[in-house]
Chain A
């Protein structure tokens, strides 16, 4: 079976491989980082032999039985703080209660299994670590068993392991008791992993390990870093995107009690004070002269006009089969749609922040980041020191959604610049407004789509042009692009399963450059491509006079995983059956990041506005390692998708971002949240992701439901701008 995922994933990995070369230089673990002793069995303790057992970089067992698990990925809400330990525990047979978890240092030992850098993104964590983390646990168990057998004076073959003990007959020793002995053994090369039928945790799930500290205020996010002597920095940024400071007058700011210093850095002017409030007050009275640069002429209205023109012509070829123009000429009916997708800000709950201490030739950083080694490299470059001398402490991330994975390490770099310019130990804190206006948005896109139907109502020609900034197309050393097509601009269109059955089609891409920096945003290109495809298919089905689900079933007949999700969602939602008076349903199905998700959205129109009552979701992600975690990601992704569809939009005028805070960048709240009903397709197919695949179908399913309710096809997002009273 052809899986489109493999194609886009390969593209993604290929570009990652390019960026990786030359980026990560192996180095020895900085002394004092302790964890993650990359050399097997080694645990240096001041020349007195090992004091703990670290069979690999991911696992350390202490004599007191503590199982220290080091994550090669970061916890930003998606649950890897629990899922990765589950994989180790499955093979290690430890007591779940003994596990403690930490983020990794920026050591290449923690590079992604299929990308040459440390990165949390692309919904890859669980499937990419499925073997590595299980092997880490299994290796340790074999070594502990050997050490235990030796200690008990019994043959290894007589031993089994359970709940943190090596057991032989009525004898037992705890893992902690034999940890030091095990550390002296040579790790086995290859250990067998347990079969699915023997799993205790995988597929069943456990409670999240990070919940206790997230319900009592003890969880430490980047924002919560505090040390004696640390000051807080608040930065004045140019009101115009890309503008730079020329000069400043800090006389008033310096009179604010608590303000210590004001320094100019490349991206603005930083006010450094004893606490946030003083720094913020200082910034309020700071006078800065800016040079606007070319950003001053940028506006959203003009951008839309330019992109519409662009999308009216064929762009660089992203997919092509047959002769679409000729086929369109033969069509019995033509359906057209011109879609607009605005810039979107991630707006995670924790505004960007970063703490930096520079001492002599070394630097220590505390922040929430999806790419700690990239930040390390960028910090080293700014300071002119070697990467080995930059320590990065990754804190809990108060949401990220792609925003904390900037190739330039924007907020980390800014904090390092401030520390460098001021020679102070600082925590940079962005206000919500700083965060909202800083760019790194989901790119603005226009899709122009024309679909020709044959006499049977099925599509015979699909002509699709897309215009939008490339994320990977940067004149930067990171994330370069091979060829003309940034896969993230077209994923979900050029590899759409629908095009398989359209004999003549063309997908083109225009990738203009703008002053506004863009970035991946939860589900990346699928945020717009799924909408364009699923709304078009709905429109085409309507034009053909067919039920939207029946129509999709015909087109997807060779795509069993799409069908499985589609059918389960339709069944659980009771498609077309027993709906309350005035309620209407819409459906969408989409594959992203290796998982297949279908959703049915139920709406009614109240006071002239759409109200979402229920979203029924079905996902085929292959094996669901932590099923409740998958459900939780679906719930969150649907709320994310509803916010995006209904409200999200970042507009600029004269280079200035017109949005500030949650009052003019609305997000869904409790009272608007529908009932969400999630079902997992029982599946033994290849594993996919969970954090992002849930987002793409929500917006089109909602728009299709609104069409069912009102006859109004929504081509431009956000939806609510069509319903303003």
Chain B
């Protein structure tokens, strides 16, 4: 089984070294001593990490997450993840363009009723210089991407852990009327996310 597990790319290794250095500071600053994981010291249990990511992956590939992490420069919509009608574009900052900015329709909270725009104060796509594509990525690719400081919005592990607590991520579990929830509950997702990262953020085998 372990044969199928690959270590993440060089950048992650580099990051691992950095984490050793920065981790002390992080833990000191953010009290991550209670942080997550498979109970042991971070970065040790690659099998547990990969198991956890399998759960995480299901959530990331659900429409609630993937629809705003498209492979193209347009958001997706609906349970079938079709391209957002209206020709909505990412824009440089990920917040849409001109008269079709995200916040022109998406409010700070869900609009009541079926087929109304879901809302969140931070509603947006990843920006053009950091697209964080989920669509079309297999588990291996997606895990590597998320752990890659240069592809994940410049987040270290602690910040990644924190990101799962972000209001925009949480919005997936408040999808608005008529929309399906992600396949895991939010606490179950957090647990898997933390276990994945806490155990080293390993990527499952690629093809």
Interface residues of A (CB under 8 A from B): 660-661, 663-664, 666, 669-671
Contact = CB atoms under 8 A, between A and B. Distances in A.
Interface string B76-89: 00000000011100
Contacts of B86: 669
B154 interface: no
A663 B85 CA distance: 8
Contacts of A664: 115
Given A660-B115, A661-B115, A669-B85, 9 more contacts: A660-B114, A663-B85, A663-B115, A664-B115, A666-B85, A669-B86, A669-B87, A670-B87, A671-B87
Nearest to A607: B83
Contacts, number: 12
B63 to A, nearest CB: 15
Contacts of B85: 663, 666, 669
A338 B115 CA distance: 35
Contacts of A661: 115
Contacts of A671: 87
A671 B86 CA distance: 8
B81 to A, nearest CB: 10
Interface string B107-139: 000000011000000000000000000000000
Interface residues of B, number: 5
Contacts of B115: 660-661, 663-664
Contacts of B114: 660
Nearest to A661: B115
A664 B86 CA distance: 13
A57 to B, nearest CB: 45
A305 to B, nearest CB: 27
12 contacts: A660-B114, A660-B115, A661-B115, A663-B85, A663-B115, A664-B115, A666-B85, A669-B85, A669-B86, A669-B87, A670-B87, A671-B87
Nearest to A663: B115
A200 B42 CA distance: 87
Contacts of B87: 669-671
A695 B18 CA distance: 66
A660 to B, nearest CB: 7
Interface in B54-88: 85-87
Contacts of A663: 85, 115
- Pairs A-B, 7 closest by C-beta atoms: A671-B87, A663-B115, A669-B86, A661-B115, A669-B87, A660-B115, A663-B85
A664 B178 CA distance: 14
Interface string B87-115: 10000000000000000000000000011
Nearest to A662: B85
A359 B85 CA distance: 47
Nearest to B114: A660
A669 B83 CA distance: 14
A661 B86 CA distance: 14
A458 B87 CA distance: 45
Nearest to A284: B113
Nearest to B82: A725
A670 B114 CA distance: 25
A660 B113 CA distance: 13
A671 B85 CA distance: 10
A282 B54 CA distance: 47
A600 B87 CA distance: 26
A415 B87 CA distance: 38
A671 B83 CA distance: 13
A673 to B, nearest CB: 11
Nearest to B83: A607
B13 to A, nearest CB: 38
A664 B87 CA distance: 16
A343 B86 CA distance: 24
Contacts of A660: 114-115
A595 to B, nearest CB: 33
A618 to B, nearest CB: 30
A224 B161 CA distance: 53
A472 B198 CA distance: 73
Nearest to B78: A663
A664 B114 CA distance: 12
A664 B115 CA distance: 10
A661 B117 CA distance: 14
A718 to B, nearest CB: 15
A671 B74 CA distance: 13
A317 B26 CA distance: 86
Contacts of A670: 87
A30 B54 CA distance: 78
A663 B115 CA distance: 8
B83 to A, nearest CB: 10
A317 B73 CA distance: 56
B88 to A, nearest CB: 10
A332 B158 CA distance: 78
A671 B89 CA distance: 12
B60 to A, nearest CB: 21
A341 B85 CA distance: 25
A666 B85 CA distance: 9
A710 B98 CA distance: 36
B187 to A, nearest CB: 32
Nearest to A670: B87
A433 to B, nearest CB: 10
A661 B178 CA distance: 15
A669 B114 CA distance: 22
A279 to B, nearest CB: 15
A670 B100 CA distance: 13
Of A660, A661, A663, A664, the most chain B CB neighbours within 10 A belong to A663
B133 to A, nearest CB: 17
A671 B114 CA distance: 26
A671 B87 CA distance: 7
A196 B160 CA distance: 78
A283 to B, nearest CB: 12
A669 B85 CA distance: 9
Nearest to B89: A671
A664 B77 CA distance: 13
A490 B101 CA distance: 47
A661 B114 CA distance: 11
